[in-house]
Amino acid sequence: MSSARLLLDMQQIDQRLATSAAEFRKLASELQSEGNLKRLRDESEVARVKVLETRLEHGKLDAEVSTQKARIESIETRLYSGAITNLRELTALEEEHNLAKRNLATAEESVGPARLASEHAAAKHEALQIQLIDTEEQWKVTSKELKKRARDVSKVCKGLELERNGASAGVEERDLALYRNLLPRKGGVAVARVERGICQGCRIKLPIREMGQLKSADNLVMCSSCGRILLAT
Ligand SMILES: [Zn+2]
């Protein structure tokens, strides 16, 4: 069998190997990213922190409302007790009373929206938790299938590698080196058939001289247009 023919056989194995290797890489990457799980876990963690933050804010405002109410009550007790007769002291207390009322109003205005935000954050976190549990269950099944498929594809790859090594056995080292060099540079097609005088690698008609070489030469003949190894059919 001619070198070019042996190389074409190798190329067919290499092409199948490339397809299987690409599938294996895809499976490995799917397994590594754990489907949607990573993204969901991140989102759930962000939502959990948001729950804590909004709860804290709501708690602070609630405490502020209580504080201001207590303060107003204490000021009013002093104001209306009749014990303070000094005008300056009375004015100061009234100012303090107004300030406390303003502070209370501000806190009361914010406490409602803060409670809503806290409830909203809790609901969102809960929904994400449920989604996460569901997705984790699904992933258990999916990952099992993916792992099995990856093992199968890996076996196919190993088999093809053995087959390729066997196919390369009869090829001269110099021709093999040329083939290996061409394969990645020519989009996985290092050997091209010649049909009706046309190189199937680049679809260009071969000059008569090249056709002659192809028929008579023992060495590999390259396409003068695309540089691929030619195989007469
Ligand atoms: Zn060509």
CA of 185 to the centre of ligand 1 (A): 13
Instruction: Give 110-167 pLDDT, tens digit per residue.
Output: 999 999 999 999 999 999 999 999 999 999 999 999 999 999 999 999 999 999 999 9
Q: What is the pLDDT of residues 178-195, one digit of tens each?
A: 999 999 999 999 999 999
Q: Fill in the DSSP letter of residue 204.
A: -
Structural domain for 124, as ranges: 18-168
Whether residue 6 is contained in a domain is answered as: no
5 Cα–ligand 1 center, Å: 16
Is residue 157 in some structural domain? yes
Question: Using alpha carbons only, how large is the chain's radius of gyration in Å?
Answer: 40
Q: How far is the CA of 200 from the centre of ligand 1 (A)?
A: 7
Does residue 134 share a domain with residue 158?
A: yes
Q: Are residues 118 and 228 in the same domain?
A: no
- Output the CA 175–ligand 1 centroid distance in Å: 18
Whether 153 is covered by a domain: the verdict is: yes
- Å from CA of 170 to ligand 1 middle: 25
Q: What is the crossing angle of helices 173-185 and 3-33, to 10°?
A: 50
Angstrom distance (rounded) from CA 182 to CA 217: 20
Number of domain units in the chain: 2
Which of 4-18, 62-76, 215-229 has the least mean pLDDT?
A: 215-229
pLDDT higher than 90, residue 219: no
Statement to judge: residues 138 and 228 lie in one domain: no
* pLDDT of 209 above 70: yes
CA of 226 to the centre of ligand 1 (A): 4
Higher pLDDT, 56 or 209: 56
CA of 71 to the centre of ligand 1 (A): 93
165 CA from centroid of ligand 1 (Å): 26
pTM of the model: 0.66
What is the CA 190 to chain-centroid distance, rounded?
Answer: 34
Whether residues 31 and 57 share a domain: the answer is yes
Please tell me whether residues 56 and 82 are part of one structural domain.
yes
Q: What's the CA-to-centroid distance between 209 and ligand 1, angstroms?
A: 14
Are residue 100 and residue 86 in the same domain, yes or no?
Answer: yes
In sequence order, what E strands does 73-208 have?
191-195, 198-199
- Residue at which a domain ends, from 112, 141, 168: 168
CA of 117 from ligand 1 middle (Å) equals 68
CA 190 to ligand 1 centroid distance, Å: 10
Say if residue 186 is in the same domain as residue 202: yes
Q: Which residues contact 209 (CB under 8 A, 6 or more apart)?
A: none
Residues 69-112: pLDDT tens digits? 999 999 999 999 988 889 999 999 999 999 999 999 999 999 99
